[in-house]
Amino acid sequence: MKSKTSPQMAVNIGQLKLKNPVMTASGTFGYGEEYSGYVDLNRLGAIVVKGLSLKPRLGNPPPRIMETAGGMLNAVGLQNIGVDTFIEEKLPFLRNYDVAVIANIYGETYDEYKKVAKKLSAAKGVHALEVNISCPNVNKGGVSFGSDPKIAARVTRIVKDETSQPVIVKLTPNVTDIAIIAEAVEKAGADAISLINTLTGMSVNLKARKPHLKNITGGLSGPAIKPVALRMVWQVIRRVSVPVIGIGGIMTAEDALEFLILGAKAVQIGTANFINPHATIDVIEGIKNYLSNNKIKDINEIIGTFQP
Amino acid sequence: MKSKTSPQMAVNIGQLKLKNPVMTASGTFGYGEEYSGYVDLNRLGAIVVKGLSLKPRLGNPPPRIMETAGGMLNAVGLQNIGVDTFIEEKLPFLRNYDVAVIANIYGETYDEYKKVAKKLSAAKGVHALEVNISCPNVNKGGVSFGSDPKIAARVTRIVKDETSQPVIVKLTPNVTDIAIIAEAVEKAGADAISLINTLTGMSVNLKARKPHLKNITGGLSGPAIKPVALRMVWQVIRRVSVPVIGIGGIMTAEDALEFLILGAKAVQIGTANFINPHATIDVIEGIKNYLSNNKIKDINEIIGTFQP
Amino acid sequence: MTKDIYIGEILRNEEIQEDCFLMKMKVASSFHDPLPGQFVMIRIAGLNDPFLSRPISIYSFSRGKSFCSIELLYRVVGKGTQILAGLIKGSQVEIHGPLGNGFEISTVKENIVFIAGGIGIAPLSLLIEHLCRSACLFTSAITVYLGAQRASAIVGLDKLQKLCRDITVCTDNGTLGTKSLVTQAFQKNIKKFSPANTVIYACGPKEMLKSLAKILNTSKFSCQVSLEERMACGTGACMGCAVAIKDQKGTLNYKRVCADGPVFNLADIIWD
Amino acid sequence: MTKDIYIGEILRNEEIQEDCFLMKMKVASSFHDPLPGQFVMIRIAGLNDPFLSRPISIYSFSRGKSFCSIELLYRVVGKGTQILAGLIKGSQVEIHGPLGNGFEISTVKENIVFIAGGIGIAPLSLLIEHLCRSACLFTSAITVYLGAQRASAIVGLDKLQKLCRDITVCTDNGTLGTKSLVTQAFQKNIKKFSPANTVIYACGPKEMLKSLAKILNTSKFSCQVSLEERMACGTGACMGCAVAIKDQKGTLNYKRVCADGPVFNLADIIWD
Ligand SMILES: Cc1cc2nc3c(=O)[nH]c(=O)nc-3n(C[C@H](O)[C@H](O)[C@H](O)COP(=O)(O)OP(=O)(O)OC[C@H]3O[C@@H](n4cnc5c(N)ncnc54)[C@H](O)[C@@H]3O)c2cc1C
Ligand SMILES: Cc1cc2nc3c(=O)[nH]c(=O)nc-3n(C[C@H](O)[C@H](O)[C@H](O)COP(=O)(O)OP(=O)(O)OC[C@H]3O[C@@H](n4cnc5c(N)ncnc54)[C@H](O)[C@@H]3O)c2cc1C
Ligand SMILES: Cc1cc2nc3c(=O)[nH]c(=O)nc-3n(C[C@H](O)[C@H](O)[C@H](O)COP(=O)(O)O)c2cc1C
Ligand SMILES: Cc1cc2nc3c(=O)[nH]c(=O)nc-3n(C[C@H](O)[C@H](O)[C@H](O)COP(=O)(O)O)c2cc1C
Ligand code: FES
Ligand code: FES
């Protein structure tokens, strides 16, 4: 039943051209290396690396993760090697591959975002920036940058001013109205919007009467959050005209197709990598099969074909 | 290993005295009747009935529910028989039991809340009101009453003015900062706060390229949302002094104990009833066993013993 | 009536046709005698994925000395039924029921017509069995129209053949019986039956019931159908399994398939 | 090296002690030879509850003509291991590995001391086997201290006895061997060993490793331990399995048990 010509899988996120719409989600695929034994990185739509900060970050004390029903909590606390070490030590490895590399960036102050963006903008082998605005804003007493449209817009503008690379802004779901934030960052110049980051959650160790995570709360990811992710993509997609990248609980090609049909131009695979190190390739293959079986020649033909 | 004297299970929610901290969650236990074959209603801490509106509500067209990973979506649309029919036809049945009955109320306008509260306040056999403020506010273009602290406070005050019964305000999790809403309703006179209602989610029917729910979006409940519920209870409990009732994904006694240890004075069992019609009793028995096994004489001794 | 959750121990679980399984289980004798058309909610104890229980009609029931046995006839269509199909002898399931209202049984009619599409035979079969066993009824009064897409999707025929004689089998592609939609096969013979002395029972896919509704539209035939909807509780509490039904005044009301049905008068159903 | 996900077909899965199971499975021969101390991530294909894979050390490994066989020794402590314990012969699991860094093997030492608490014997056992098989080593150089709370929690002893002679068994309650903590039993004999010519390998509960750290505190013994932490990916990507480790300058760093470990120098670990 398979058609002989392979379906066309390339999609564009603004100027960024991807082989296919399947990326890795930041923080779930290391710096690419960690999965290079399992996955031919050349086959991926893009690799979004672990969130980078100006200085190396120690991250939170353990325990950092806990399993939940259909998902997991993490409080890694953005442990990372810092932008300089990334450029020196990790980027050369990634340059060996013919794959789009997206640097996920993170700051505790506006200035940090600015500096990280600047450094990465000058680095060879980075094809786009993804701005994580879910982190607590040190200037504003810990309220997340991403929960206030004005602050979200300001971060976006600051990063845009530092780079000529496409800027993707990644939204947090822990807000009353995500569409308002999306509109604000679009207006501020975002070239694309990705969503969702993790939902804030918590897990209680009954025996010890303590939190399971040392950090008390953590970010919930995995299939448990897929319904929330789909809803938010649906909300945002109708309010912005820039491309939207769907993230949240995608485990299979079918899950990914749900986001694409809703109107997401691409998707990111997060927690699924942990359960199945081959998940990204399985999703790509699954989408191809779906297109072939349904005699669809080009992935773009199905994006946004959802009928409410 | 069981101690011979049964542990003391009674808790107080303000003036409301409950045999034990286990209630049913609104909309998941009908009007009590539906489960009276499976559960001796006399054994429950309280029965919270299906949300009541001033006039009977038809509810949303089907399909109304969909399964998700570790949970379900519902878009019942508050189908109910209306407050008058409830008082005439359902309350007499409940009066046969020695159990606290809590009426969950719902309005599309301030005035509807007021009128429903008034009617129930005068009805014999209603022991408290639970105000559902997660519903879209028709006056404010569909934004939920519960997502704005001022509106939430106003609804609380309106209901308080109509009744001498304890007023529990039930919060929606679809907000940026639930603690602000909790503080606002406490200040407005809420005698207790219950949380969480469902997270808004969505499910896509890939084959039909349509939503699984006719209403497109629905409320996510079940174990998938427990981490979010625990986190929100934890956020609220430290900001208000009125009793907090924990709701969200409680399937077992252990789940319930997690909420109690965090500081919730009582819990509600929702979706679990669907999976196990005997869930409420299983939770009550399980808590008793836990107390006996740990030689704790009174449930109140463990409430709020969590050490962050 | 006290209701309970029962452990069903699988005695047998066989693929009797392509993708179609017959599961026999034993449950404690406190299980109530089901009415034809009632169903159970079934799940695998301790398994949270799939999360919800699944509604399945009672296909056959018998009461032994120390336990009851229940047969379910089901088609594998998704995750839940797939997992059921994998259960082996000795495995345990959790069930509760019997749930819902059975068919209204009128013994005064001359003709009783059954129209079943595919797995829709499951709830009807118990009713046919019941009617055949009730002394006051001649099996000659029973006419069955059994249809499916293709031969391999025709199930329950062997049991039927033991119960009654007037069976018309049809398949969409003609691989068994007449090549015809089951509703068309019935329509061709509709003149044989007088509305006043006939009662029709039907179960099958929505499209089949819809065309039956069209066929019977202006006629005076009384027709009861068993409907399916996604369910969460199965006990009438969640309002999840709504179906649009006309009340006496003809206004739309949402009824619960689990508690107000699954059997409804075909004429009362409002199709979308 | 290309890494893959393997299907493990259960050959045997028996409770060899109270709550302690030995699982033997066969996997395709492309599975790489594990180093002692390495582990696999294991899950039941298609089952999403529990959600994450579980890390289990490779207890034993052999390469046959057409497939490899892997043995896992595990204790049932929660949902995941409970489900593993329920698997019967012929069931399939999904594994990936071998993961992590094994023990550093120094063959020049005179004495090799193993200290295992309970199920902690699992990763050490493969190392002992390896050392015994390597020609350059006399089994007399090996001393094993094997401890647990009670007799029924002592596992892996039979296999050990086939490999080496100098085994001290101790239990907290004295139901087998010496009544002593395993670390105390070692401490009593510590004078027998010279730091320069001895290497220590240990695995067990955190408390055991902590007291071992205290015992060895100012000594010059080189001691490698295998640590456990909750894991999500097992491949170094999620940063979930962090453990506080001193770097050369003595500053705290979070290392990944899965990718930087699970074997660490005891002296580098910062206990909370
Ligand atoms: C009262 C009642 C009695 C039933 N009796 C039988 C029976 O005797 N034998 C039998 O094989 N089936 C019966 N069904 C249908 C059966 O419940 C569904 O096939 C089953 O729930 C599908 O579960 P799944 O996980 O395999 O499929 P899913 O993955 O949940 O869904 C697969 C497909 O089945 C459809 N579906 C899912 N749930 C239902 C449902 N409750 N009703 C109708 N379609 C559904 C979906 O829309 C989808 O197309 C009955 C349904 C009801 C409501
Ligand atoms: C590298 C490594 C090798 C291991 N090798 C073995 C082995 O060979 N045999 C064996 O029996 N066990 C081994 N473990 C421990 C094993 O992974 C846990 O016992 C298992 O994950 C518990 O899963 P569960 O679902 O049964 O328990 P859960 O319900 O998840 O937890 C039950 C208890 O186990 C603890 N626990 C959970 N996960 C881990 C973990 N990853 N590490 C330590 N404790 C945990 C929890 O804190 C809790 O107290 C190893 C762990 C690691 C990290
Ligand atoms: C362990 C872990 C670490 C993460 N780190 C980051 C990060 O550094 N930056 C970021 O923007 N998102 C981070 N995320 C969020 C994911 O990229 C993704 O948005 C989220 O997990 C939801 O997708 P999923 O359900 O497919 O995992 C992390 C998620 C996990 C589970
Ligand atoms: C089918 C269904 C109907 C519900 N109806 C109501 C309602 O009428 N009023 C209300 O306040 N909450 C309603 N809820 C929310 C529940 O009371 C509860 O807050 C939520 O389901 C989370 O708890 P759970 O995960 O234990 O189900 C409903 C939930 C479900 C699943
Ligand atoms: S399934 Fe819950 S009311 Fe019918
Ligand atoms: S488990 Fe993911 S980094 Fe170790």
pLDDT tens for residues D29-75? Answer: 999 999 999 999 999 887 888 999 999 999 999 999 999 999 999 99
Ligand located closest to B283 CA: 4
Chain C within 8 Å of D45 (Cβ-Cβ)? no
- B105 is an active site residue: no
Q: Is residue C104 part of a domain?
A: no
Question: Do D115 and D169 fall into the same domain?
Answer: yes
Confidence of residue B142 (pLDDT cuts 50, 70, 90): low
Confidence of residue B42 (pLDDT cuts 50, 70, 90): very high
Question: Do D31 and D90 fall into the same domain?
Answer: yes
Which residue blocks in C134-196 are alpha helix, DSSP H? 157-163, 182-189
Give the model's pLDDT for residue B152. 95
In this predicted structure, the answer to whether residue B112 has a pLDDT above a threshold of 90 is yes
Active-site hit among A78, A87, A135, A236 = A135
Active-site hit among B135, B153, B168, B287 = B135
B237 and B244 Cβ atoms separated by less than 8 Å: yes
In this predicted structure, the answer to whether residue A1 has a pLDDT above a threshold of 80 is no
CA distance D217 to D213: 6
Chain B within 8 Å of A174 (Cβ-Cβ)? yes
Query: Are A38 and D231 an interchain contact pair (Cβ–Cβ within 8 Å)?
Result: no
CA distance C87 to A7: 39
CATH number assigned to the domain covering B11-301: 3.20.20.70
CA distance C131 to C112: 10
The number of domains in chain C is 3
A75: nearest CA partner in chain D: D240
Confidence of residue B143 (pLDDT cuts 50, 70, 90): low
Is residue C247 classed as helix, strand or coil in its secondary structure? coil
Higher pLDDT residue, B232 or C175?
A: B232
How is A46-98 classified by DSSP, letter by letter? EEEPSPB-SS-B--PPSP-EEEETTEEEE-----B--HHHIIIIIHHHHHTSS
- Which amino acid residue places its CA nearest to atom 14 of ligand 3? A27
List the strands of the sheet with C20-28, edge to edge.
C54-57, C39-43, C92-99, C5-17, C20-28, C67-75, C60-63
- Chain C partners within 8 Å of B277 (Cβ): 3, 5, 96, 233, 235
> How high is the mean pLDDT of chain D?
90
Is residue C250 classed as helix, strand or coil in its secondary structure? coil
B79 and B59 Cβ atoms separated by less than 8 Å: yes
Higher pLDDT residue, A217 or C108?
A: A217
Confidence of residue A136 (pLDDT cuts 50, 70, 90): low
Give CA separation, B157 vs B147, B162, B177, B186, B191, in Å. Answer: 16, 9, 21, 10, 11
Chain A within 8 Å of D270 (Cβ-Cβ)? no
CA distance D96 to D27: 10
CA A14 to chain centre: 16
Query: Are C252 and B222 an interchain contact pair (Cβ–Cβ within 8 Å)?
Result: no
Higher pLDDT residue, B297 or C136?
A: B297
C231 and C56 Cβ atoms separated by less than 8 Å: no
CATH code: domain of residue C240:
2.10.240.10
Question: Do C129 and C220 fall into the same domain?
Answer: yes
CA distance D127 to D114: 10
With a cut of 50, list the residues of chain C below it in pLDDT.
Answer: 1
Ligand 2 center to D55 CA (angstroms): 7
Q: At which of C195, C213, C228 does a domain end?
A: C228
- Chain C partners within 8 Å of D48 (Cβ): 49
D46: nearest CA partner in chain C: C49
Query: Are D5 and A277 an interchain contact pair (Cβ–Cβ within 8 Å)?
Result: yes
Smallest CA–CA separation between D7 and chain C, in Å? 19
pLDDT tens for residues D241-270? Answer: 999 999 888 899 999 999 998 999 999 999
Q: Which two tokens stand for residue D67?
A: 């497939």
Question: Do C214 and C251 fall into the same domain?
Answer: no
| Residue listed under structure tokens 């120390």 | C66
Query: Average pLDDT, stretch A285-304?
Result: 97
Q: Is residue C106 part of a domain?
A: no
Of residues A29, A60, A67, nearest to D51 (C-beta)? A67
Domain extent listing, chain B: 11-301
Question: Do C147 and C221 fall into the same domain?
Answer: yes
Confidence of residue B2 (pLDDT cuts 50, 70, 90): very low
> How far from each other are the two terminal CA atoms of chain A, in whole angstroms?
30
Chain C within 8 Å of D48 (Cβ-Cβ)? yes
| Percentage above 90 pLDDT, chain D | 62
Chain B residues 51-90 with a CB less than 8 Å from chain C:
58-72, 74, 76, 79
Q: Which two tokens stand for residue C197?
A: 């002395």
Q: Is residue D13 part of a domain?
A: yes
> How high is the mean pLDDT of chain A?
94
Q: Please indicate whether residue C239, judged by its CB atom, sits closer than 6 Å to ligand 5.
A: yes
A171 and A178 Cβ atoms separated by less than 8 Å: yes
Question: Do D183 and D206 fall into the same domain?
Answer: yes
In this predicted structure, the answer to whether residue A140 has a pLDDT above a threshold of 70 is no
CA distance B67 to B78: 19
Is residue B23 classed as helix, strand or coil in its secondary structure? strand
Smallest CA–CA separation between D48 and chain C, in Å? 7
Ligand 6 center to D153 CA (angstroms): 29
Give the model's pLDDT for residue D137. 59
Give the model's pLDDT for residue A3. 46
The contacts of residue C174 (CB under 8 Å, 6+ apart) are: none
Q: Name chain B's partners: 3 or more CB pairs within 8 A.
A: A, C
Ligand 6 center to D259 CA (angstroms): 7
Report the pocket of ligand 2 as residue ranges, CB < 6 Å. D 39, 50, 54-57, 73-75, 77-81, 119, 122, 228-231, 257, 262
In this predicted structure, the answer to whether residue B1 has a pLDDT above a threshold of 50 is no
Query: Average pLDDT, stretch D75-82?
Result: 94
Query: Are A257 and B206 an interchain contact pair (Cβ–Cβ within 8 Å)?
Result: yes
- Chain D partners within 8 Å of C48 (Cβ): 49
Phi/psi region, residue D14 (left: phi>0; alpha: psi -120 to 50; beta: rest), is beta
Ligand 6 center to D148 CA (angstroms): 28
> Which atom number of ligand 6 is nearest to the Cα of residue D242?
4
CATH code: domain of residue D65:
2.40.30.10
Q: Name chain D's partners: 3 or more CB pairs within 8 A.
A: A, C
- Residue span of the structural domain in which D147 resides: 111-228
In this predicted structure, the answer to whether residue A188 has a pLDDT above a threshold of 80 is yes
Q: Which amino acid is residue B272, in one-letter code?
A: A
pLDDT tens for residues C136-183? Answer: 556 678 889 999 999 888 888 888 888 888 888 999 888 888 888 989
Give the model's pLDDT for residue B3. 46
The residue of B67, B74, B93, B225 whose CB has the most chain C CBs within 10 angstroms, and thus the best one to mutate to test that interface, is B67
Q: What is the pTM of this model?
A: 0.96
A241, A243, A246, A252 alpha-carbon torsion, rounded to 10°: 130
pLDDT tens for residues A25-53? Answer: 999 999 999 999 999 999 999 999 999 99
What is the value of ipTM here, to two decimals? 0.95
In this predicted structure, the answer to whether residue A181 has a pLDDT above a threshold of 60 is yes
In this predicted structure, the answer to whether residue A142 has a pLDDT above a threshold of 50 is yes
Number of Cα atoms under 13 Å in the Cβ half of residue B50? 31
| Residue listed under structure tokens 């023990």 | D103
Q: At which of C43, C78, C99 does a domain end?
A: C99
Q: Is residue D105 part of a domain?
A: no
Chain A within 8 Å of B142 (Cβ-Cβ)? no
CA angle (A20 as vertex; A19, A25 as ends), nearest 5: 110
CA distance C21 to C119: 10
Beta-carbon neighbour count of residue D20 at 10 Å?
Answer: 23
CA distance A155 to A169: 9
Radius of gyration of chain D (CA): 18
CATH code: domain of residue D224:
3.40.50.80
A28 and A38 Cβ atoms separated by less than 8 Å: no
- Chain C partners within 8 Å of B68 (Cβ): 51
B with C: how many residue pairs have Cβ under 8 Å apart? 106
